[in-house]
Amino acid sequence: MSRLFAFGCSSTRYIWPTWADILGLEYDEFYNWGQGGAGNHFIFYTLVEAIERHKITSSDSVYIMWSSIGREDRFIKGDWFTPGSVYNGEYPQEYVEKFAEPDHFLLTSMTLIHSAYQLLKNIGCDYRFLKTVALSQVDDTWTKFLPFTNSFDHSVIALYKDSANLVETGIYEDIFPKDRMEIFIPHSSNYHKKDLKKKFTNLKGKDWPSFDNFYNRTLEGIKKPIIKELNDLGLIDWRERCYQRCNMHHVPSEHAEYLQNRNFILTNKQKEFVAYWDNIIRTQDTWDWPELQIKRFGRM
């Protein structure tokens, strides 16, 4: 009996099928342990939990899509808190200023990835390490570039080179939605407008326009330095994505393309599944994609 276990964030488990769900069609049993907003701590902890719960053996397959490194996860009051990047507004600004450190994020993530590599190598199962964005993309809210200090990234990667070399090109590196604006997903526009408004409000500076004027592109009379500030923070680009694409998550056909770029061979069954869901996403506002029930600590 063939079993596939997939781990990751919303790029692995989402409101429509992802790369993991596409691959899962060809297995006798499929378990998608992904969770929206998850960071690499959550991914590693749930990997260890799944190994114990399901007694993963050498006959199983384990595919992990590691998330961006600037995320922190907490198990709070019996459930997982996975809000995504520490730079997204869920964490207090004083916490971010004091504790958000690119070197720390890279070191902890690479330690977790290397530990997962050692675990799975010892089990002897089939495993693949994918990722969402480049390890250097610390802030996945795309508002700023955060560098490492004194070539620290090279030192960490060199030490953990065996596992680092296994981590394949990320889906946002390979297939970046910003370049695919023709894919319009109507249902999600309000959701992502709310995200943008939250970010705009948290960052709002002196003499900025109101959010409604900003979102509706009525910026007449706004001084050029303010426009530059909005642009440098990535807010104007984000606004345009809301208008044109509305959802920065890849649709099934993009997941399928990513898999093929990673040398996965898709069957006709998988290709038909992808085409079916792409059509639904483009033409319908709502649909019935099943919520997978995974027995784990939290959300049980």
- Three-state secondary structure readout of 81-107: ECCCECCCCCCCHHHHHHHCCHHHHHH
Residue with tokens 């995200």: 195
* pLDDT of 226 over the 60 cut: yes
Instruction: Supply angle C-alpha 224, 227, 228, rounded to 5.
Output: 85
* pLDDT of 189 over the 70 cut: no
Instruction: Confirm if 126 and 133 have CB atoms less than 8 A apart.
Output: no
Please give the DSSP secondary-structure letter assigned to residue 128.
E
Q: Identify the band that residue 60 occupies on the pLDDT scale cut at 50, 70 and 90.
A: very high
pTM of the model: 0.79
Long-range contacts of 42-46 (CB under 8 A, 24+ apart): 42/73, 42/80, 42/82, 43/7, 43/8, 43/9, 43/67, 43/112, 44/112, 44/113, 44/115, 44/116, 45/73, 46/7, 46/296
Q: Identify the band that residue 296 occupies on the pLDDT scale cut at 50, 70 and 90.
A: confident
Q: Specify the pLDDT at position 205.
A: 83
Cα–Cα distance, 59 to 3 (Å, whole number): 8
Q: Specify the pLDDT at position 264.
A: 97
In order of their start, the domains of the chain are: 1-175+250-300 (3.40.50), 177-249 (no CATH)
Q: Specify the pLDDT at position 182.
A: 44
* pLDDT of 181 over the 50 cut: no
Q: Specify the pLDDT at position 107.
A: 97
* pLDDT of 106 over the 90 cut: yes
Q: Specify the pLDDT at position 188.
A: 46
* pLDDT of 227 over the 80 cut: yes
Cα–Cα distance, 286 to 279 (Å, whole number): 12
| Mean pLDDT score of the chain | 87
* pLDDT of 61 over the 90 cut: yes
